[in-house]
Structure 1
Amino acid sequence: MKKVRLLLATLLLVFPLMMQAGDFTVGHKTFLLNGEPFVVKAAEVHYPRIPRPYWEHRIQMCKSLGMNTLCIYVFWNLHEPREGQFDFTGNSDVAEFCRLAQKNGMYVIVRPGPYVCAEWEMGGLPWWLLKKKDIRLREQDPYFMERVRIFEEKVAEQLAPLTIQNGGPIIMVQVENEYGSYGEDKAYIAEIRDCLRHLYGAKQTLFQCDWSSNFELNGLDDLVWTMNFGTGANIDEQFKRLKQLRPDAPLMCSEFWSGWFDKWGANHETRPAKDMVDGIEEMLSKNISFSLYMTHGGTSFGHWAGANSPGFAPDVTSYDYDAPINEYGGTTEKFFRLRKMMQKYSKEPLPAIPAPPAMMISIPPFELTERADIILGADSLVMNSPLLTMEEMGQGWGSMLYIATLPEITSESVLTLNECHDYAQVFVDTAYIGKIDRVRNEKSLRLPAVKKGQELRILVEAMGRINFGRAIKDYKGITESVTLTTEQDGHELSWNLKRWNIFTIPDNLATARRALDLAQRDSSSMFNFQSSIFKGSGYYRGYFTLKKTGDTFLNMEAWGKGQVYINGHAIGRFWSIGPQQTLYVPGCWLKKGKNEIIVLDVVGPSLQAYAPSITNALKLTSTRKIPSQRAPRSSSAASSAPSAASSAPSVTLSEVERSLSPSLFSQNHPELDKLNTEKSRLHNNPADCPDLNSATPVVEGQFAPGNGWQTIRFNGSKRGRFVAIQALSSQSEKPEVAIAELYVRDADGNRLSRESWTVEYADSEEINRGNFTGDKVFDLQESTYWQSARKSPLPHLLVIDLGSEQTISALDYLPRAESSAPGSIKNFKIFVY
């Protein structure tokens, strides 16, 4: 009887799926859903960037915009954080997300990589792949492909039963992702295709996406081809070549970029709402399917935010993306404009906008009274070792401490960290010397004279691994060498420090709690301001009490740089330079009553964070100032303490010290666009401007008007390190000029790598109305661009440092992608020197 009941229960579960089995195929200039023409109106959302209790709300928000499909990436490193250890539970339960989509009448497009980009740590590839130093990522490397197949099999176990042929919501599956921006390797793409076809069945529609400029490099004949481009793009131009090659194929923009992602140290990115909506309406009017990337961006919680290249540009925690549905699930101007337009293309009234799942709250200031030095988070140590990377030490995320014994150097020396990834703080014994920041391409700093036996201590924090281009093989820690050079008695002396004691300090909740608990149990190991090895750096813990819960935004502006955990949830990275100054805290992760917060700050909070406790300390004493050596490294509490009245009672230094604790508060709105950078982002230092008055250009002439790549060939080859593009006039009457991308070609006509490129000089860059700095011409993104400042007069000059001398025979120039290519250069001169 039990077997019969079990069989009936199984049939009750399976039979509805069998009854709903359908089909999604390619027809004549259209997609076909169950034999009928179907326009895909997809909303890109990422399930790990949304707290699981809010999944259904965000799905319903997308549906209320008139979308009929959800488009999702599957993140390999999320699901296999350690080799062979898979997780599809909690916020990683991708199958449940798809079932919720189906429950709400939405179809699903799945993009299972293995590479996804998405401004996500290492583009979704797991860090442990780098333990094999000779691995070739995104190629037919035997080990890489073996792990890819295992991962895709595990994903298919979750998702293959949910394809439309099996009665589920999944209508399409993507093969790899934008491979044309990485290389040309049809054999590799074919192997990924064969793997997915085997797992999802011969009837499942497979597609590949790329840019209009490179999709032919890897296009396979039996896959659907889709284009990726952004707000403002010339849509006819984007599909022009595809229509020539496949005149009867359906057209789809698989990523129509609604906004853009933010980087630490740059302004918050936005795109005009009208331009976004106009682009979608144009596509709908032409029967072109689309996926709006992003419709809701969400948050890169914990350590999942990636970084971009060339150079190193780590992404902020917020993935708001200037999307129609903002980071915390709210409506925006884009949302309402889009909803109004989408209603015109729906026969039925659009669903009502769902109510927010949580109210907005603020939390008054509270103190974090427990502290532990960062060294208490160390979990492994190797002694007398050559330099090792984080991956070689078996750690994925966090910090590393390198300690070496110094020789005697009687004069000032230069310390150079070769390929230090990513943010280093340098100490001699306990004295803070300075920082070396990969974001700013810093590599060295000056050390004072040192005695033999003193210790050089380098604390290195890793940020997100690069997620785009060839630089995704991004090792962390000091990855090459550490050298010291000085001049003594007219001779240059140098040392290559080869033997190190190395500590790993993981970035995870267990490590933070262990360090704090150790410090609380053993007061002798409690590193206060006076005895701390790394003054200010460390773990801070506090508590706050709530009578009601709700979404909120933790203000981190007074803190330095690090990570936050609330009630065991990794909220994300913060960095005082901005532009993001608040961290989104979902109300579903808070609770009535007592809540725990832990802050790992690798730099240490500023004096501003101590303001409330300094006020309390001043109440304790009016006979002496708070001792300056008790303050954080960055400033002295004594500077704000008035002289005490002689009649007031005295107080011990330990009492004052115990009363000093940093504080935090939260607010009911985000702050995503406030920069506190120490250095200008402009490249207009007059000392870097070359004197070209007497120089001879390698070529001069006119660019053609309109969209698309143009190649300017030199009269022979020229050797040099710097390339200067002088814009003498524009194609319009306006003085502003713009360049989307540049390449230079070697003597054989091949494009040279741009990994080592930097901007040497730009006479004008628009940063008041966006991030249009010179580095945009080599950021691997055709939709971003350098633009001169509004109304800045011609001529304009951009100088690129290639990193080393190169032999150059030609230059490739790409104007902006919008219709009529605004800001296009007309007359130009090009110099190589």
Structure 2
Amino acid sequence: MKRIGFTILLLFIVTGFCIAQKARHTFALGDSTFLLDGKPLQLISGEMHCTRIPREYWRARMKMAKAMGLNTIGTYVFWNAQEPEPGKYDFSGNNDIAEFIRIAKEEGLWVVLRPSPYVCAEWEFGGYPWWLLKNKTMKVRSQDPAFLKAYRDYILHLGKQLAPLLVTHGGNILMVQIENEYGSYGDDKTYLDINRKIFREAGLDGVLFTCDGPSQMPRGYLPGYLPCVNGLDKPAEVKALINKYHDGKGPYYISEWYPGWFDSWGTPHAGSNANEDAKKLDEVLSAGLSINMYMFHGGTTRGFMNGANMSTHDPYSPQTSSYDYDAPLDESGNPTAKFYKFRAVIEKHLATGEHLPPVPAKMPTISINDIKLSESAPLFANLGSPVIEQHPLCFEDLNQGYGFVLYTTTLRDAAKGLLKIDQLRDYATVYINGKRIGVLDRRLKQDSIEIDTTKSNLVIGILVENNGRINYGPYLTDNRQGITEKVTLNNKELTGWIMFKFPFTTVSGFKYMPVNTTVIPGWHTTVINPENPALYKGTFDLTNIGDTYLDMRGFGKGFVFLNGHNLGKYWYIGPQQTIYVPAAWLRKSHNEIVVFDELKGNHQHISTLDHPVLNEMAKE
């Protein structure tokens, strides 16, 4: 019996080994196409980011990708999500990039990995962690030793998660991108090669590539490695460009093709023409090129992770929390008209006898007519421990990455004149003795306000919000937040600052009271001004659960927590007027919602819709 048992065990081991060997593939660069196991492979890829999609829906989004005809997923990895504090790594929950990739494999999808670690992606600081900026002389995307050490440490830890998932080790990651659109920023080939060496040291031993816009490729490509192009969809031009920088050969990969675009606060909802996009996709596939559509599914930029654009010609412009992108799969993961047009195009290019799987059903939606907000926590009655310095400290020097800081100082004498904040980052509400006198907005190049006080010993308060660090372009290295220089009154610097930190990593610990309370002990006032910032809390039960959209029309500017999840930001100016709430984050009993509003007050109710509102502008 023992011999028979041993034989059976040996058979299982040998069989398992053979299956494992059979599952291994080779992936290589041919002269004109990618080669999988020596045969041509046309990548039909779509971008999705695990951190922007509730973990509970990763598999559902993958099934939608397969149903549209994709065979590959492109994905960034966000350093600031994976290493929120130096040396403290988080690969759990929505940050579990390895599990995201494993699910893709189970669903029959290859992966093109883009860990850069600079990603752009309309993501806070382009994916870099805020704590790099605590060193005010550090230069990201450079040979700065302090930057390279932090970069290397991160990539080595990421490699432990992802190297086993490369195709070279039996996984489904076909190739890995080093840096990201580097030509838009610099042209240091030595720095690019340092990237390559770090990736190899981390065990990322497969095919490496770079990506750049057409005009940026000469600066951003690394000789000897595949250069891929972003934002170009004319096949002849794609081939000519890649040939020029890759020894006259391919493969030809459009690493970012844009069938949609992102939104910024204060500008209309972006989009593209589905019929024209479908025609372009058909041309690319007919020419045998590989392509990655950015985005296939955008999802939502949760928490305080939205980025911002700024250039020498364009003002600071923060992006919305909704990352719907007018993509084939909308923010909540449902197929759009664009999805079906692309599916029809891809179907034309299937091999004889191949068929696409059916399109999964849409997620059910619900609307909730009236959620009572019964308690409020005025911000100025919840100040916490102060930091006291002669000069104002920026967020980074206060050891804070995101959220808000309240800066206060006392005017000993009556004063009249121009109050100016030197280098405001990014949005401020200004108060005298707890009463708001105005708003300053970096987008609109507002940094000063006239004041006229007739009394002495009045307190100036400046509540400053990080509205999103710049994620692209020449100002990437100039990203410290808060009051980054000084405050002057009639050109004379104000000193003696008392600062209060509000990182809002959680909304617990605040002191709540009934929403209609009018008298409390507070910051230099005993009367609650309904315009002043506050958190509003309520609970609700549900009979049915489904996706829904918080209707933020009637609110001012802030963010929302639901059952412990920071759902993202809202701002009355639009174009985004709703916040997507995934059904997976709701429960039938005792849902808790907390809304922070820095501009409007006295909120007692909030409702939800069964559809998004993403293109409604309001007057500022």
TM-score, L = length of structure 2: 0.93
Matched, 1:176 2:195: no
How far the C-alpha of 1:281 sits from its partner, in A, is 1.2
Mapped pair 1:669 → 2:599: no
Question: 2:465 is matched with which residue?
Answer: 461
Judged with a 3 Å threshold, the aligned counterparts in structure 2 of structure 1 residues 14 and 44 are, in CA distance, closer, same or farther, namely farther
Letter in 2 for 1:350: L
Q: Residues 583, 143 of structure 1: CA spacing in aligned structure 2 closer, same or farther, 3 A cutoff?
A: same
Q: Secondary structure at the match of 2:183?
A: helix
How far apart are the structure 1 equivalents of 2:15 and 2:511? 52
Assess, with a 3 A threshold, how the Cα gap between structure 1 residues 299 and 163 changes in structure 2: closer, same or farther: same
1:61 aligns with 2:57: no
1:604 maps onto 2:610 in alignment: no
Q: How far 1:18 moved relative to its partner? A: 3.8
Report what 2:218 is aligned to. 216
CA distance in 2, matches of 1:150, 1:519: 48
User: 1:362 and 2:363 equivalent?
Assistant: no
For residue 495 of structure 1, the aligned residue among 487, 492, 496 is 492
Match of 1:649 in 2: none
Question: Do the aligned partners of 2:556 and 2:572 also contact (CA within 8 Å) in 1?
Answer: yes
What is the DSSP-based 3-state SS (H/G/I as helix, E as strand, rest coil) of the residue aligned with 1:189?
Answer: helix
Query: What is aligned with 1:188?
Result: 191
1:36 offset after TM fit, Å?
Answer: 0.3
Partner of 1:28: 31
Note if contact 1:373-1:526 (Cα within 8 Å) is conserved in structure 2: no
Whole-angstrom CA distance in 1 between matches of 2:590 and 2:466: 32
CA offsets 1:661-692 (integer angstroms, 9 cap, x no match): 521000100000001132xxxxxxxxxxxxxx
C-alpha contact 2:518 2:528 (8 A) present in aligned 1: no
Residue of structure 1 in register with 2:448 after alignment:
444
Matched residues, number? 606
The residue aligned with 1:792 is none
d(CA) in 1 for partners of 2:526, 2:453: 24
Q: Where does 1:258-273 land on structure 2 (aligned, <5 Å)?
A: 258-273=259-274
Please report the RMSD computed on the Cα atoms of aligned residues, expressed in angstroms.
2.5
Structure 2 distance, partners of 1:161, 1:475, is 37
Counterpart position of 1:420: 424
Quick one: which amino acid aligns to residue 546 of structure 1? Answer: L
Matched with 1:714 is none
Distance 1:416 1:6, change over 3 A: farther
Matched-pair contact (CA < 8 Å) for 1:372–1:526: no
Aligned ranges 1:80-479 → 2 under 5 Å:
80-202=83-205, 204-229=206-231, 234-245=234-245, 246-310=247-311, 311-347=315-351, 348-356=354-362, 358-409=363-414, 412-473=416-477, 474-479=479-484
Which digits, 9 at most, give the CA deviation of each residue in 1:128-162, with x for residues without a partner? 00011100111011111111111111111111111
Distance 1:93 1:6, change over 3 A: farther
- Residue type of the partner of 1:20? A
- The one-letter amino acid paired with 2:343 is R
Amino acid at match of 2:282: E
CA contact (8 A) 2:548 2:608 kept: yes
- Decide which moves more: 171-180 or 235-244: 235-244
Instruction: Tell which has more relative contact order, 1 or 2 (C-alpha 8 A, sep 6+).
Output: 2
Question: Please, which of 77, 81, 101 is the counterpart of residue 80 of structure 2?
Answer: 77
Q: Shift of the alpha carbon at 1:20?
A: 1.1
Give the CA deviation at 1:7.
11
Higher-Rg structure is 1
Aligned: 1:545 with 2:541: yes
In structure 2, what is the Cα distance between the partners aligned to 1:568 and 1:589?
9
- Determine helix, strand or coil for the equivalent of 1:200: coil
Query: Do 2:310 and 2:472's aligned partners in 1 also have CA atoms closer than 8 Å?
Result: yes
The answer on whether the counterparts of 2:118 and 2:128 sit within 8 Å (CA) in structure 1 is: yes
- In 1, Cα distance between the equivalents of 2:519 and 2:18? 67
Change (3 A) 1:429 1:584: same
1:6 and 1:81 map into 2 onto residues whose CA distance is 46
For residue 386 of structure 1, give the secondary structure of its aligned residue in structure 2. coil
Secondary structure of the corresponding residue to residue 576 of structure 2: coil
Given that 1:43 and 1:70 are in contact with CA atoms closer than 8 Å, whether structure 2 keeps it comes out as: yes
> Structure 2 vs 1, CA of residues 538 and 128 (structure 1 numbering), >3 Å: closer, same or farther?
same
The 3-state SS of whatever aligns with 2:575 is coil
Partner Cα distance (2:123, 2:12) in 1: 41
CA distance in 1, matches of 2:343, 2:132: 43
Sort the Cα spacing of 1:18 and 1:364 in 2 relative to 1 into closer, same or farther, 3 A: same
- 3-state SS of 2:472 partner: coil
Q: CA shift at 1:380, angstroms?
A: 4.2
Residues 325 and 331 in structure 1, CA contact (< 8 A), matched pair in contact too: yes
> What secondary structure is seen at the aligned counterpart in 2 of 1:225?
strand
Q: Which runs of structure 2 are paired with 1:786-801 in the superposition (5 Å)?
A: none
- Is the 1:44–1:71 contact (alpha carbons within 8 Å) kept by the matching residues of 2? yes
Measured after TM superposition, the shift of residue 163 of structure 1 is: 0.8
Q: Is the 8 A contact 1:264 1:575 kept in 2?
A: yes
Tell me the distance in 2 between the aligned counterparts of 1:286 and 1:530. 71
Check 1:191–1:524 CA distance in 2 against 1; reply closer, same or farther (3 A cut).
same
Match of 1:749 in 2: none
Cα distance in 2 for partners of 1:7, 1:401 equals: 68
Over 3 Å counting, the alpha-carbon distance change for 1:176 and 1:534 in structure 2 is farther
Matched with 1:619 is none
Q: CA deviation at 1:236?
A: 3.0
Match of 1:488 in 2: none
Distance 1:379 1:81, change over 3 A: farther
Query: What are the superposed Cα offsets for residues 374-403 of structure 1, whole Å, 9 maximum, x if unpaired?
Result: 135545421243110011101111111111
The one-character-per-residue Cα deviations of 1:35-76 (angstroms, maximum 9, x if unpaired) are: 001111111111111101110010111111111100000110
TM-score, reference length from structure 1: 0.70
* Percent of paired sites with the same residue: 39
Give the structure 2 partner of residue 554 of structure 1: 550
Aligned-partner residue type, residue 485 of structure 2: E
Q: Return 5+ residue gaps in structure 1 as ranges.
A: 486-493, 606-631, 633-660, 679-833
Pair 525,154 (structure 1): closer, same or farther in 2 beyond 3 Å: farther
Per-residue deviation, 1:87: 0.7
Q: CA shift at 1:535, angstroms?
A: 3.9
Partner residue, 1:733: none
Q: Retained in 1: the 8 A contact 2:98–2:161?
A: yes
Counterpart Cα distance in 2 of 1:11 and 1:549 = 48
- Alpha-carbon offset, residue 534 of structure 1: 7.8
In structure 2, relative to structure 1, the CA distance for the partners of 1:317 and 1:292 (3 Å cut) is same
Shift in alpha-carbon separation, 1:61–1:472, aligned structure 2, 3 A: same
Query: Structure 1 residue 513 and structure 2 residue 508: aligned?
Result: yes
Residues 537/98 of structure 1: CA separation in 2 closer, same or farther (3 Å cut) = same
